[in-house]
Structure 1
Amino acid sequence: MSFARVRALVIVGMLAVVALVFVAVAIVRDTQSSAGTAEGCPDDWPRADVTLRDHKDVKIKVLNGTDRPGLAATVGDDFRNRDFQVEEEGTEKKKIDDVAMLRYGPKGVGSAHLLRAYFLGAAELSYDPAREGDVVDVVLGNAFQQLATTTEVNQSIGDLGAPVAPPGSCPLPVEN
């Protein structure tokens, strides 16, 4: 073996050892090992379920916040055709001008995040920390035209990123 080849092997070996040392130090000194858990969260704050739900696991109430008759029933049928659990359809007393408003509590954070993608991120979010249950109210507004297609929803979920616990709440610990 030539001297140049031995020198190259020694240099590559040293680089591998240095890389292993850096990896070991990074793992030992990791300060984010409890990231995404409720560790260090005040006891009186609600624990938000930030799990992105599958369509079949999302419970919704569809409410018509417009003057268009039958809008809640039509959109409710659209959501049923997409495997959502539509628990109720009705009329909202207060009319809204936005595309939609999503009202939810700590147990509905992940569900509301998924539903927001069906409005391409244009739905207004209304988080109530005292709200019980995992049902999300979908209030349709005057600017609503139609639900997004499956492809648009998938792209919107990618654009929106992962669900995040709202201010004043802590994420539930992630189950592995």
Structure 2
Amino acid sequence: MRVTPPFAPVTDHDLAVLAEQLGRPARGVIGIAARCVCGNPTVVATAPRLADGSPFPTFYYLTHPAATAAMSRLEATHVMAELADELAADPELQAGHLRAHHAYLADRARYGDVPEIAGISAGGMPTRVKCLHALAGHALAGGPGVNPIGDAALARGDWSPQRCACARPGPMLDAAGVAE
């Protein structure tokens, strides 16, 4: 099982971009789990318990407006049902979805134990396909092969993490995530 964290520290620039992306201040951000090729946040890692005490099971939260819109378009065209049918018919895909569930839980557990959400990951894992946004966020955070349903959603969508679609491109980053 691949465990993604820890994450690079969140910068003031990241928080400003996130507020712009979300239309509100981001809550509980503990790291940027995936970035656009321009360096802006695409997926945030969120604390499993927010500052107000609320449990928050969505550890990987897709924030990039073009990515979230692409997943919404897929959901509107019933791709989620197609992926659910594929999951039901394919034992290998079921095993991959279960591994993704365990990887998600392991990543989140590094940041706290929250009994109210114990065993709950996101996106319907480990048995259903419920939210492509959550599954794609996990796939982007973990990389190819970590979340096979998220990978499939990204492959079927009209947004690509390989090209910038940001309203305001961020600083270009080198391979280590340092501004060039």
Higher relative contact order (CA 8 A, sep 6+): 1
Q: Which has the larger radius of gyration?
A: 1
Q: TM-score, normalised by structure 1?
A: 0.23
Q: TM-score, normalised by structure 2?
A: 0.23
Higher normalized strand content (fraction of residues): 1
